[in-house]
Amino acid sequence: MSELTPREWLGLEATHNPHRWYLPVIPRLSVREIFLFGGAGLAAATTALEETTGRPVVWATAQYLDFAKVGETMDLDVHISVSGRYTTQARVIGRVGVREIITVNAALGRRELDLTETWPTPPDVRAPDACRPREYDYDQDSLGKHLDQRFAPTTGEKLGGPTGHGPGRLCVWTKPPDGVGNSAATLAVLGDFVPMGISNVASQPVGSNSLDNTLRIIDVRPSEWYLLDIEAGGIANGFGHGQLRIWDDQGNLQAIASQSVIVRDRRKH
């Protein structure tokens, strides 16, 4: 079976206006069949940007303003601010009716430079087939149920935390959803799991939802599995912050993501 393109997997629809796109909010792009998963919103925006400009995303940052509910359709309008010889600066505004749902600012382009280097090293983890699957305590459809995710324990010295990588740190193997190919959209979805990390490392039961999501793409390479190396930075005053690195299954660093989230005590909700 051939891989799905980001547009096919998202269900993103073009219009007669090359700068406007439609995204039907369907259950497999949602959180518990209620509202659009933030990473799917960023994935749709990055796809619209790449399709409109003909250039690959270098970085994109989303600010989440409201919820797009399952059954609604979000309009995505691409605004190109500056387009130079190698780089385009642009933004996307996503709305449902008059409600602004998401604003995404981004840079796109590619420059010829015979230099590729990365400095962080991937964590030592067990292979995916030796890891415990992530399980869900609810029956509703959601994006998470279309991902194969497995908590990845360290193979080295156990330093604490859920997977032994140290306090505040969680490593999770993740397979792209439903056969979708490697792309900026794939990385945008996978970059939205800082909230899961915070929920798993906090000292009491908490839930969270994203205020933003920033994705910085180093390289996009084919990979059967991606390793999410999540580091929760801290929680204070009802907000949490963290980042994650996305590694392919050959140990190449593909992207860096960071988020701030609203944190809620699950015992009070």
Instruction: Tell me: do 161 and 233 sit in the same domain.
Output: yes
Residue 252 has pLDDT above 90, yes or no: yes
Instruction: Tell me: do 142 and 236 sit in the same domain.
Output: yes
Per-chain mean pLDDT for the chain: 95
Q: Identify the domain containing residue 54 by its residue range.
A: 6-109
Instruction: Sort 51 into a burial class: Cβ within 10 Å, 0-12 / 13-18 / 19+.
Output: middle
Instruction: Tell me: do 171 and 242 sit in the same domain.
Output: yes
Could you tell me the CA-to-CA distances from 202 to 39, 99, 126, 261, 266 in Å, in that order? Answer: 22, 33, 23, 13, 12
CATH number at residue 32: 2.40.160.210
User: Cα(244)–Cα(246) distance, rounded to whole angstroms?
Assistant: 7
Instruction: Tell me: do 259 and 151 sit in the same domain.
Output: yes
Could you count the other beta carbons within 10 Å of the beta carbon of residue 8? 14
Q: How many domains does the chain have?
A: 2
123 lies in a domain?
A: no
Instruction: Tell me: do 99 and 180 sit in the same domain.
Output: no
For tokens 């994203």, the residue is 210
How many whole angstroms from its chain centre is CA 160?
26
How does DSSP assign 59-115, residue by residue? Answer: EEEEEE-SPPBTT-EEEEEEEEEEE-SSEEEEEEEEEETTEEEEEEEEEEE----S-
Binned at pLDDT 50, 70 and 90, residue 1 comes out as: low
User: Cα(138)–Cα(37) distance, rounded to whole angstroms?
Assistant: 16
What average pLDDT does range 130-138 have in this prediction?
89
Instruction: Tell me: do 136 and 227 sit in the same domain.
Output: yes
15-59 pLDDT, tens digit per residue, is 999 999 999 999 999 999 999 999 999 999 999 999 999 999 999
Residue 64 has pLDDT above 90, yes or no: yes
What average pLDDT does range 142-159 have in this prediction?
94
Task: Name the pTM for this structure.
Answer: 0.95
Instruction: Tell me: do 101 and 155 sit in the same domain.
Output: no
Instruction: Tell me: do 144 and 219 sit in the same domain.
Output: yes
Cβ(31)–Cβ(140) below 8 Å: no
User: Cα(89)–Cα(14) distance, rounded to whole angstroms?
Assistant: 21
